[in-house]
Amino acid sequence: MNSSFSIKNQPNLQIAWDATSLDLLKTCPRKYQLSILLGYTTHEQNIHLTFGILYHQAQDTFQMALSRGTDYDTAVKHVTKMLMTMTWDSQLDRPWSSDHPNKNRFTLIRSFIWWTEQYRNDPIKTLVFDGRPAVELSFQFQSSYTANTGEPFIICGHLDRVVDLNSHIYIKDYKTTKYAIGTEFFEYYSPDNQMSLYSFAGQVIYNSRVEGVIIDAAQVMVEFTRFRRGFAPRTQDQLNEWYKELGEHWLPMAEWYAHHEHWPMNDTACGRYGGCQFRGICGKDPKVRDTWLKAGFKTRIWDPLKVRGDI
């Protein structure tokens, strides 16, 4: 059962929203319905998602160790060993198998180790709140917007790290890519729903001005990994605008879709990001789509209220 949905006679209405579900809603209501509401996902391993999760886990574990006083080199060795263990298939008694030349066990571990060398003297410091390092934090808080069921909408999600740079507070995030990292790479994140949600959430949770998100990007190639740091800044007016549009447009639209049990497809988004995984389904006659979905996809529950760290 997905705890992020309404419990008041409106089972298709999502009450707790994270960046992933909101991104899908904004991209295409039909894609949101299939991914979040019905829970369909492909049978194939998403190597980009797997690689990104492992890379984030390595960074989170590393920063948590440093914040607790672990020696730098000791922390590097600890996380490297952790990655080697996590990428070992114990059932087959062999390393994690990836058919992607850029994203595999070797490039994952190499990328982490090379990052620790490049940022050994990093001026960015992890903040500590109530004695706990602000690393891998799950959060949830009530918004000022309420559904017609009387339930307050909740904003939730997970922050990799909250940091201080020159007495300014930022959210820290990590991205991996195969493309060269130029200025335009970071410009892509302004505007961006995920970065705005993180910045807004940071302000609410810690009651402090958050300047935006610091992005550590890694270009992962077969023979090298190259790093560059950039910013996705947010002014207070930008965050206010994002929040107002969330409450006055996107959440009411989600409620309309749920009430009418109709999620229209946005056919202008089908080819974005290499093509939607449901493009073949939406391209078929409506009468046979369910049959093709059940034959070609598996289901899982995406619950934004599932906690990773402390709130």
pLDDT digits (tens, 9 = 90+) for 258-307: 999 999 999 999 998 779 999 999 999 999 999 999 999 999 999 999 86
206-244 pLDDT, tens digit per residue, is 899 999 999 999 999 999 999 999 999 999 999 999 999
CB contact at 8 A, 18 and 157 = yes
SS3 10: coil
Q: What is the full DSSP assignment across 23-80?
A: HHHHH-HHHHIIIIIS-EEESS--HHHHHHHHHHHHHHHHHHHHHTT--HHHHHHHHH
| Averaged confidence pLDDT in the chain | 95
CB 299, CB 40: distance < 8 Å: yes
* Rounded-to-integer distance, Cα 215 and Cα 256, Å: 35
What's the pLDDT score for residue 126? 96
Which residues lie closer than 8 Å to 36 by C-beta, 6 or more apart? 14, 20, 21, 24, 302
- For residues 178 and 219, the answer to whether their CB atoms sit within 8 Å is yes
Find the radius of gyration of the CA atoms of the chain: 20
Is residue 146 classed as helix, strand or coil in its secondary structure?
strand
**How many Å apart are CA 255 and CA 301, to the nearest integer?**
20
Cβ burial of 173 (10 Å; 0-12, 13-18, 19+) is buried
What is the tens place of the pLDDT at every residue in 126-165?
999 888 999 999 999 999 999 999 999 999 999 999 999 9
The reply to whether omega before 191 is within 30° of 0 (cis) is yes
Q: What is the pLDDT of residue 129?
A: 87
Beta bridge partners of 175: 217
**Encoded tokens for 278:** 């449901």
Q: Please report where in the chains the tokens 């034959």 appear, as a residue.
A: 295
Closest CA to 9 of 253, 251, 258: 258
- Give residue-wise pLDDT tens across range 34-65: 999 999 999 877 899 999 999 999 999 999 99
Domain boundaries, the chain: 16-44+250-299, 47-244
Q: Residue 184: what residue type? A: E
Cβ-proximal residues to 125 (8 Å cutoff; 6+ apart), any chain: 163, 164, 165
pLDDT score recorded for residue 308: 61
Residue 60 sits at the vertex; the CA angle it makes with 24 and 207, to the nearest 5 degrees, is: 70
Domain 47-244 has CATH 3.90.320: yes
Contact 3/305 with Cβ under 8 angstroms? Answer: yes
